[in-house]
Amino acid sequence: MYNIVILGPPGSGKGTQSKLIEERYNLLHLSTGDMLRREISEGTDTGKQVKGVIKSGNLVSDEIVTSLIASSIDCDVGHDGFLYDGYPRTVNQAKQLEDLLSHRNMTIDVLLVMEVEKGELVKRLSGRGVAAGRPDDQSIEVINNRLEIYRSITEPLVSHFCQKGICARIDGMGKIEEIFARIRGAIDKICVRQ
């Protein structure tokens, strides 16, 4: 079973690339952002709890996202592994993920780090806000808050994983297929080595 994490600031193309990766490697795509938006649209207790947090661009509690991930892993049948998109986002979530995988005799195999220039991120996020109906992409203050949270809280995870030799920095600028080719190269290189 493969466990691949795709990390990167909002707007770095994680969702787009995830669709290609899940298909190519037969992985279950686990996007905590999508799961949380589903909770909100279904009006669940969790949805009610997280709605305001997401709208402001802040992070939902580690416990909520980790339990969504754990139940998705345990319910899965038929995939060759899991692709984590937008999770983990804190050092504590990374530890929780490592723990829950080790209890199931798995580890994180690859960490893909999407790198895109800040100006391009702001352009992409502002563009998709209205089209995708995402309130957290429609205000420049919220976009800046999310980018700053990534820089200060999530980016430190990269060095945590790089020390383990499973980290691949991906140039996220350019055409979708070109970026996907870089990702395939990185996954195949790390997975062959293991």
Which residues are at the interface with ligand AMP (CB under 6 A)? 10, 32-33, 36, 53-54, 57-60, 65, 86-87, 89, 93, 136, 146
Q: Cβ 192 to ligand AMP, closest distance in Å?
A: 29
Q: What per-residue string of b and e applies to 33-67 under the rule 16 or more CB within 10 Å gives b?
A: bebbbebbeeeeebbeebbeebeebebbebebbbe
Task: Report CA 56 to chain centroid distance, whole Å.
Answer: 19
State the minimum distance, in angstroms, from the CB of residue 87 to ligand AMP.
4
Q: Find the shortest distance in angstroms from Cβ 129 to ligand AMP.
A: 12
CB of 60 or CB of 110, closer to ligand AMP:
60
169 by DSSP, 3-state: which? Answer: strand
Q: Do 193 and 4 touch, CB atoms closer than 8 A? A: no
**Which residue, judged by CB position, is nearest to ligand AMP in the bound state?**
33
Least separation in angstroms between residue 193's CB and ligand AMP is 28
Compute the C-alpha angle 17/22/28, nearest 5°: 130
| Beta carbon nearer to ligand AMP, 54 or 183 | 54
Nearer to ligand AMP, 54 or 167 (CB): 54
> Nearer Cβ to ligand AMP, position 59 or 70?
59
Q: Which regions of the chain does DSSP assign to beta strands (E)?
A: 2-7, 28-31, 81-85, 110-115, 167-171
Nearer to ligand AMP, 98 or 136 (CB): 136
Residue 81 tokens, joined: 């592994």
Least Å distance between CB 188 and ligand AMP? 26
CA–CA separation, 151 and 119 (whole Å): 15
